[in-house]
Amino acid sequence: MSHPHPELGPPPELPEGALRIVALGGLGEIGRNMAVFEYDGRLLIVDCGVLFPEPDQPGVDLILPDFEYIRDRLDDVEALVLTHAHEDHIGAVPYLLRERRDIPIVGSKLTLALIEAKLTEHRIQPVKVEVVEGERRVFGPFETEFFAVNHSIPDALAVAIRTPAGIVLHTGDFRMDQLPSDGRLTDLGGFARLGAEGVDLLMSDSTNAEVPGFVTSEREIGPVIDEVIRTAEKRVIVASFASHIHRVQQVIDSAEKHGRKVALVGRSMVRNMGVARDLGYLRVSSDVIVDAKEIEGRPPEDVVLICTGSQGEPMAALSRMANRDHPIRVAEGDTVLLASSLVPGNETAVNKVINGLSRWGARVVHKGNAKVHVSGHAAAGELLYVLNLTRPSNFMPVHGEWRHLRAHAKLAALTGVPDDHIVIAEDGVVVDLLDGRARIVGAVPAGYVYVDGTSVGDVTDFALKDRRILGEEGFISIVVVVDTGTGKLTGGPEIHARGSGIDPDRLTEVLPQIERAIEENAADGVVDIQQVRRVVRRTVGRWVSDTYRRRPMIVPVVIEV
């Protein structure tokens, strides 16, 4: 198996007749999916998503792919193909379009409608190219063909990319539910036809590569949700992804069956379901949906609320309800249904929300105690099925953490793909398809770009390190006044601590040490202010470490006179 090496350098010029593939996100992580294809000097992008921050990234709202690799070549981009409308595949599109607004956005009807609603908030009017399964479109040297795939959002597509270098099949996110609630099956016949034609490179969803067998059908979830709503004593609050139209449909159907009104809570939930309803993907009677403001005046046993926050996001509706920071107050006898799977890394946040809701007397139903969610990603049995249908000459696992990519690579080997034709890459690794072989040829920068409020890319890893130190260890500030001619202390030192866990009364112990260090500095003839700052920081840091075994941020302020 070919795999990235830490010493990979910049790639060579693209050879004539070769197709280059560079993932700028989505490899070694769940999220930030973005792949750039290059042939004959032209570019095609598949997906452009975001990654959500983890607890060790304080203050960060979103994490984007690094566009630096294509920033000077945006005019070479023929189109941006979106496989489906989940945030980890479309969330970064507004930020890419800020750099070139007229990049054609290619996708299904629902995908384009949801991305257009998102772009409206950014005051961007996209150039849209709507496609359907079975359709072929040409964008420069790239001939694309689209295939229906079943996923946890309607209208998802896989895309085959044809160039003289060969055929690449990018599955996007998919599963093989044989009884999908919308009746739209993954196009296995199309995959088989493509396999007979000859797939030179298969890029396939790896999220559930470690899970044996086949995923449970979506239809098995409906009766469980119905039972939860039927037996609920008071209000039912359902937390789901704002894009999970199938799940919302199941909840609405059950609520209507049992005579309950439904209110949508959360801006993204209201927006997405409005789009889905307008396009016919969400079927709901006009008298079932009510405004969330009307809920408090209705009997609790007549109400179902559908909100965001199933992943424990601190600003989402459910988390705010758990913290008593939301107009909707969870009360004794309410039922809360978490109708989603856990995204890796969110376990602690979700458990905190469950505990908060339980504190107020709610019954919390989740995947751990009831079958209320099925994955939208193919398990190992389904992945093997696709590998055997397509019989690719080369294989590259995508969309997954390292363990998922490795597991998927082993499945490919089991189906007969030669080890030296299996490419395990990570973000930024450059893969060339030439003469029927996919090989790693170099690497380009593909780091994290952080969005913090209105700031994009201004927050660095160093800034995050400082935030973590401030959050975990606090800070100490020291003010001294120094004569610029002699370097001698003429005022202070004054010392203050915040969040450091240090007894304020003991801070005076270090003052004589600071004075002595500055005097020794002056005696050596050192008058450089930066050197004075270093001496103060080193002196205080050593005392805090020796006395408290702590490492707060130390901020020396030197005033020159």
Residue with tokens 């945030």, as numbered in its chain: 87
Q: Are 559 and 480 in contact (CB under 8 A)?
A: yes
Q: Which of 20, 22, 23 lies closest to 41 in space, CA to CA?
A: 20
Q: Which residues 6+ apart lie within 8 Å of 538 measured at CB?
A: 517
31 SS3 class: coil
Alpha carbon of 492 to those of 117, 448, 503, 530: distances in Å? 58, 42, 20, 17
Q: How many residues does the chain have?
A: 561
Say how many C-beta atoms besides its own lie within 10 A of residue 245's C-beta.
27
Q: Which of 127, 76, 140 lies closest to 97 in space, CA to CA?
A: 127
470 SS3 class: helix
Q: Which of 185, 201, 175 lies closest to 18 in space, CA to CA?
A: 201
DSSP per-residue codes, 262-301: EEEESHHHHHHHHHHHHHTSS---TTTB--GGGGGGS-GG
Q: Is 376 annotated as a binding residue?
A: yes
Q: Is 373 annotated as a binding residue?
A: yes
Q: Which of 213, 215, 166, 202 lies closest to 398 in space, CA to CA?
A: 202
Q: 549: phi > 0 → left, psi -120 to 50 → alpha, else beta; which?
A: left
**Angle CA 209–406–380, to nearest 5:** 20
Q: Is 496 annotated as a binding residue?
A: no
**Angle CA 228–232–233, to nearest 5:** 170
**Angle CA 62–63–65, to nearest 5:** 140
Q: Which of 52, 74, 72 lies closest to 64 in space, CA to CA?
A: 52
* Burial class (CB within 10 angstroms; exposed 0-12, middle 13-18, buried 19+) of 102: exposed
β-pairing verdict for 489-498 and 455-456: unpaired
**Interhelix angle 402-414/380-390, nearest 10 degrees:** 50
Q: Are 179 and 222 in contact (CB under 8 A)?
A: no
What CA–CA distance (Å, rounded) separates 364 from 265? 18
Taking the chain, what is the end-to-end CA distance rounded to the nearest angstrom? 66
Q: Are 139 and 44 in contact (CB under 8 A)?
A: yes
What CA–CA distance (Å, rounded) separates 212 from 367? 18
**Cα dihedral 10, 15, 17, 22 in deg (nearest 10):** 0
What CA–CA distance (Å, rounded) separates 450 from 435? 39
Q: Which helix or strand (DSSP H or E) is residue 191 part of? A: helix 188-197
Residue set of the binding site: 373-377
Residue set of the binding site for substrate: 373-377
